[in-house]
Structure 1
Amino acid sequence: MDARHLSFRLLQVFRQVAESGNITAASRLLHLTQPTVSLQLKKLSEIIGEPLFDYQQQRLQLTASGELLYQAVLDIDERLSEFNQQLHQQRRGDAGTISLAVVNTAQYLLPQLLADFSRDYPRVVINLQIGNRAHILNRFAQQQDHLYLFSHPPGGENVKAKAVVANPLYLVAPPGHWASRQSGLSFGMLQEERFILREPGSATRMTFDSWLSSQATEIKYSMQMESNEAIRLSVMAGLGVALLSAHTLQGQQHLLSVLEVSGFPLLSHWYLVRHSNKRLPQAAVKLGSFIEQQLALWQDPLQAERNARPGSQNPATTG
C-alpha cells in the first residue's frame, strides 16, 4: 500500500459506507451520487491492494482487510477530534507550551506564582530558563522565548517592557555585625568593609555602580560572585557586606542583618519584557497578564518590618 495516495475524503467515504451498510444510504448522507461513492471505494481498494467489502444478505460487509482499515479510520478520526479540541484550547490559551526566561534573581519570584498559574491552567506547559543577564540578553536577541523578566530591561526599538513589581535593594551584613546595632548609618561609615558584588553587567551591579557614581563615592575592598545565593551565604558566613534584592532576602532576612543606611534601599523594578517581533500564543498572553496581576499585589516584607517598629521612619528618605 502506498499511503501517499490516501486522502481524508476517501477514508470518510469508506467509513460512512461501512457504517451504513449500503452505498445508497451512504451517498445520501455524504451528499454524493452513488456512482461517485462506488468509484471512491474502488480507488481505495486499489490503493490498499485488498477487497474491502463483501456483499452478503443485501448488505455490504467488511472483509478482514476492511475491518482493519475501519479500525484504523476510527483511530485517525479520534486523534483528529483530540487535535481539534487541543487546538481550540490552545487558541483560548487553556493549553500550549510557553518559554519564560528570567535572570537569576527573578527565580525567587516565580515558584509560587507559577504554581498558582498551573492550577488554573493545568494543560499549559511552561519551560523556564534561568541565567545571568548576559545569557538572558542573548536569548532575547535570538527571540528564543515568549516572555522575559529583567530588573534592567534591554534597550532597542524591538523591546516591549512593562514594570510589574518593585525591586528594592538592601545593604546586608552578617548576623551580629557592628553596623546592625546602629540606625541612621551613612554609607561612608561602611567604606572600610569588604563588599561582595555581582559581576559587571548584572542589573544589581549596574544599579549600585550608578548610585556610587551619583554620590561621587567608591568602595575600597570588594570581591565578585555571579550568584545571589552564593553572595547571601557568603554574607551569612561573615565574608563581607552586600547589596541584595528584597526578593532574594524574602523569608531569609532573619539569617542576615539588614542595615539601616541613609539612602537605602535603592529603588528599582522588575520588568516583564517581550520581543516585538515574537508572536505570543494566547497562553503566553494569559501568563503575562497573570504575572502582572499577581506581582502588583506584592509588598516588601522588609519595609513592613521597619514600619512596624516604634518611632521608625523610611531610611530611603532620611539623610
Structure 2
Amino acid sequence: MNIRHLTFRLLQVYVAVVRLGSVSRAAAQLHLTQPTVSQQLKRLAEAVGEPLLDSQEGRIRPTAVGTELYHAALDALSRFDDFNGFLQDARQGTRGGFSIGVVTTAKYILPRLLGPFNRRFPEVEVSISVGNRGYILERHRHQQDDLYLFSHPPAGEHTLSGRFIRNPLVLITPPDHWAVQTPPTDFSALLGERFLLREPGSATRLVFEEWLRNHNLQLKRVMQIESNEVVRMSVEQGLGLAVLSEHTLAEGEHRLGRPALPEFPLTSHWYLVCHNNRRLPYPAANFVRFINDNLASCIDSRYIHNDLARLLAHLHPPGKGA
C-alpha cells in the first residue's frame, strides 16, 4: 500500500460509507455527490491494492481487509481529533465531547452520573443514544459510540467492560396480590400466574430466563411488553406479575406489591463498555475516571460495586491524551 496516496478525506469518506452501509447516504451526510464518493472509494481501494467493500442484501459491508482499514481509519481520525481537542484545551480549558449508547433501563441511572460530571466539566458535550439492547448492540458492533452502558455486556476480544453498579432484579405484583400478604415459601408457587416479560434479547429477560432454567422452572402464562414503564403500569392494573430492575422503580410513587421471596432480588449489574481496539477520546476517558472517583457521591452506596480496573488500565494517564 502506498500510504502517500491516503488523505484524511479518503478515510472520512470510507468510514462514513462503512457506518451507513450506503454510498448515497454517506454522500448526503458528507454533502458530496454520489459519483464523488464512488471515485474516492475507488482511489482508496487502488491505494490499498485489495478489495475493501462488497454488497450483501442491499447493504455495503467491509471485506476482511476493509474491516482492518476501517479500524485503522477510526484510530487515525480519533488521534487527530484528540490532538485538536488538546489544542482547544490548551487555549480554553477542557472541551470536546463523546457519545454513549445506553440500554433503555439505564436511562434511570445515567442522569445521576452525567449531572455531576457536567457541573465539573461544563464544556464537554455528551451525545446519548437510548434504545433496547438489540439496538445498542448494533451500535456497538459498528463502533458508533465511544462508551456504552449495558446490564448484560457483549462479549468479544475487542470489548472491554467493567461493572460498577448493582442492578437488583425484583419481583413485583399488583398491590393486593395474595403473595404480598402471604408470601409463598418459594417461587414455584407463582408459576401459574401470568408474567409480563420484556422482548427477547432484553437483559432483564435474559437474566430472569437463565435463573428459571437453572432452577428447572417454566412459566405457564406470559405476555410480552416492550417497555419497562408499560410493564410497571400493567402490573399496577392487575395484568400480571413481572421482574424489573429496582432502579426502574426508584422514580416516583408506584402502587405495587413486593412479595418477600427468598430467591429475590436476582443478581445483575451495570457495566461500562468500550472497544479495546479503539482509543477513547479524552472527554470519554475523563468520564470513566470521574465515575471511578466520584461514584459514591452520585449513587446510593447500596448499589455500588465498582470494578472499573480493566477500563481504567486501558486509559492513558491524565494530561497525555486518550
Q: TM-score, normalised by structure 2?
A: 0.63
Aligned partners of 2:174 and 2:236 also within 8 Å: yes
Q: Say if 1:93 and 1:134 are closer, same or farther in 2 by CA, change over 3 A.
A: farther
2:127 is aligned with what amino acid?
N
After TM superposition, the structure 1 = structure 2 runs for residues 1-319 of structure 1, keeping only pairs within 5 Å, are 87-89=87-89, 94-183=94-183, 185-252=185-252, 254-295=254-295, 297-300=299-302
Show the counterpart of 1:66. Answer: none
Partners of 1:182 and 1:94 in 2: how far apart? 57
Partners of 2:211 and 2:84 in 1: how far apart? 55
Larger radius of gyration: 1
Partners of 2:252 and 2:186 in 1: how far apart? 24
Q: Say if 1:92 and 1:268 are closer, same or farther in 2 by CA, change over 3 A.
A: farther
Aligned partners of 1:164 and 1:270 also within 8 Å: yes
Q: Indicate the larger mover: 226-235 or 130-139.
A: 226-235
1:117 is aligned with what amino acid?
F
Two-structure CA RMSD over aligned residues (Å): 2.4
Q: Say if 1:84 and 1:109 are closer, same or farther in 2 by CA, change over 3 A.
A: closer
Aligned partners of 2:173 and 2:242 also within 8 Å: yes
Aligned partners of 1:168 and 1:267 also within 8 Å: yes
Structure 2: stretches of 5+ with no match in the other structure: 1-82, 304-322
Q: Say if 1:115 and 1:90 are closer, same or farther in 2 by CA, change over 3 A.
A: farther
Aligned partners of 1:100 and 1:126 also within 8 Å: yes
* C-alpha displacement of 1:181: 1.2
* C-alpha displacement of 1:91: 10
Amino-acid identity (%): 48
Structure 1 segments of 4+ aligned residues over 6 angstroms from their partners: 83-86, 90-93
Please state whether the residue corresponding to 1:255 is helix, strand or coil. coil
Structure 1: stretches of 5+ with no match in the other structure: 1-82, 302-319
1:291-319 CA-partner distances (Å, limit 9, x unpaired): 33444553448xxxxxxxxxxxxxxxxxx
Instruction: Give the number of equivalent residue pairs.
Output: 219
Aligned partners of 1:160 and 1:273 also within 8 Å: yes
Q: Say if 1:90 and 1:223 are closer, same or farther in 2 by CA, change over 3 A.
A: farther
1:279 is aligned with what amino acid?
R
* C-alpha displacement of 1:90: 7.7
Partners of 1:102 and 1:111 in 2: how far apart? 11
